[in-house]
Amino acid sequence: MSTATILPGLQLERNAFGGQYAPNDIRDLVYHPGIISPLKLGETEVSYFLPSRENGVNDMYLHLGCRAPPCLVDRQRVASVWAIMRVRHPLLGAKVRMNAYDDISFRYDAPLSPYEALQSAERNLEYREQTKDAELINSYLNGPRMLSNERLSYLLVSNSELQSPSPGADQNADFVICATHFLGDGMALHQFANDFFTLLGSALDQAGLASVLAAEWLARCATEPALGLPLSIEDRLPSVPPGEFKRLASRVDFALNQQKSIGGHSFPRQPGRTRHTVVPTVSIDRETTKAILKNCKKNGVSISAALFAICNIAWARTHSVGWELPIMLYSALNMRPSLRADARLHDSYWFLAIGYFNIVLPAFFPKEGDAARMFWHRARAAKAQSAAAARSPMGASRCALMAAERGTRARMWAREDDDKVAGVQTSAPTAPLAPPARLRPSGPSSALMGLSLLGNLDGIYQHARFPAIRIHTLTTGSRQRAGGMLLFGYTFAGKLWVSFGYDENGFEEGVVQTFWNNVKNAVDEFLVPA
């Protein structure tokens, strides 16, 4: 390590940390003073970064409510675990630099010692005394932005019980993991939470955590060359085979697939009012959830497919006009199974790896007839469309082309927004090149809403690995733009959860509330067996 240097004053730092840095009583640690090379954002990352700049649109949060012994949620312990996880996943501690719309990069200054890694974690950790819904989550969704180009992740811990715990009793604590969406996706967020609680609930004491931090730092920051940052999804996807014909074929397939995206329904908006996001959530008890899962299996669908049909029917019962056009719903597609095995991989799962697909269902739902039979038919139609999107051999090329299109549009809108702020008069922005008329949708392409269907999260959270911590509540979402809306569905802790994040000031009075009531009623009517 020719460029490495002995870190002076290490003994003082080690004492300040309160434990040995490494398992073998290392007396002096060395560090690599270089900065990891900047990494240019991919097109999907750009499409999320540019809209986030002003007010944090799409900044994610994951809330986990738990009961645990006070010693496991002590600030010093939580800070140590947070520091370890930030060293393992460098994008969490990175920054973003934007020089031009086509020159946006992640920059990561690796910590020069384990102690510096701990200090960085402390600066991005906050303990509060706030209630979960009324204050903690509301302040994240509707208050000043907590994240920025200089801070891509943040950890909140809250509960007044922690300040005056009952002797020997477990205490309730609320953890909120915050991260920008261009940093990663829901799968990264949940895998991270599982690993975080596994380490937090382990038998390691403070000295043991210090040793883990030292080992992680030595492996990732003190070696030469240091590990790079995780590549973007576009760099990990299989490339289109060479040849003009194959490139043209992939573009025609993309256009034909987009041609199917026909939707003529949207919630009536009410612009001009200050955005205020609310997230009403329902959880269904374990026994009823088991019955729902059994009912879905009997009818040949997953809960995810059933929720598309639930929203479809709930809207038909909310807005009984315009039945000549179908309803279109959109969702994210996990692209991790499609990534190239030979791509240069970083062992961090913190990167954005999603594509997009649409579900198109009839808007008409008669008031008479066998409603249950029609419901399950539409759920199976949603399942077939989801499976076609996930299994298509053209999935990788569609994802890459959609990313390029989204990146182009994001830059166009960003320039327009920046010009308005600067008071610059500009001509109408140039729209991305449209496909030939014969490849365009044969009707309008309005999406009613988006669904984030996370599946069975108990397959990710290995509760048995942190038995002293009982996670009882999980909610997730993101900061929204005015008029934003997204429905979440997942099973966790054996329960089915459905939450609905929307801007309560962005839509006509009563419409969204009626729709949400119809969603809950449809769950009871169709999913819960009689």
Listed residue (196, 279, 257) closest to 501, CA to CA: 279
The CATH code belonging to domain 242-420+443-527 is 3.30.559.30
Q: What is the pLDDT of residues 307-359, one digit of tens each?
A: 999 999 999 999 877 788 999 999 999 999 999 876 556 679 999 999 999 99
For the chain, the average pLDDT equals: 87
3-state helix, strand, coil in the chain (%, to 5): 45, 20, 35
- Where residue 243 falls (left for φ over 0; alpha for ψ -120 to 50; beta otherwise) is left
Domain chopping of the chain, boundaries = 39-234, 242-420+443-527
- Nearest Cα neighbor of 262 from 370, 164, 385, 97 is 385
Q: What's the whole-number mean pLDDT along residues 169-190? A: 95
- d(CA 437, CA 435) in angstroms, rounded, equals 6
Evaluate if residue 491 carries a pLDDT over 90: yes
In the chain, DSSP finds a helix count (H) and a strand count (E) of 14, 19
Q: What is the pLDDT of residue 22?
A: 39
Section 410-428 average pLDDT? 85
What is the fold of 39-234? Chloramphenicol Acetyltransferase (3.30.559)
Q: What is the mean pLDDT of residues 512-523?
A: 98
Name the residue among 82, 81, 89 with its Cα closest to residue 106. Answer: 89
pLDDT-derived band at 35, boundaries 50, 70, 90: low
How far is 492 from 457, CA to CA, in rounded Å?
5
Region for 400 from its dihedrals, namely left if φ exceeds 0, alpha if ψ lies in -120 to 50, beta otherwise: alpha
Q: Are 39-234 and 242-420+443-527 equal in CATH topology?
A: yes
**What are phi and psi for residue 470, nearest 5 degrees?**
-105, 105
Q: Using CA atoms, how far apart are residues 403 and 407, in angstroms rounded to an integer?
A: 6
DSSP-derived letter for residue 147 is: -
Euclidean distance between CA atoms 206 and 343, whole angstroms: 37
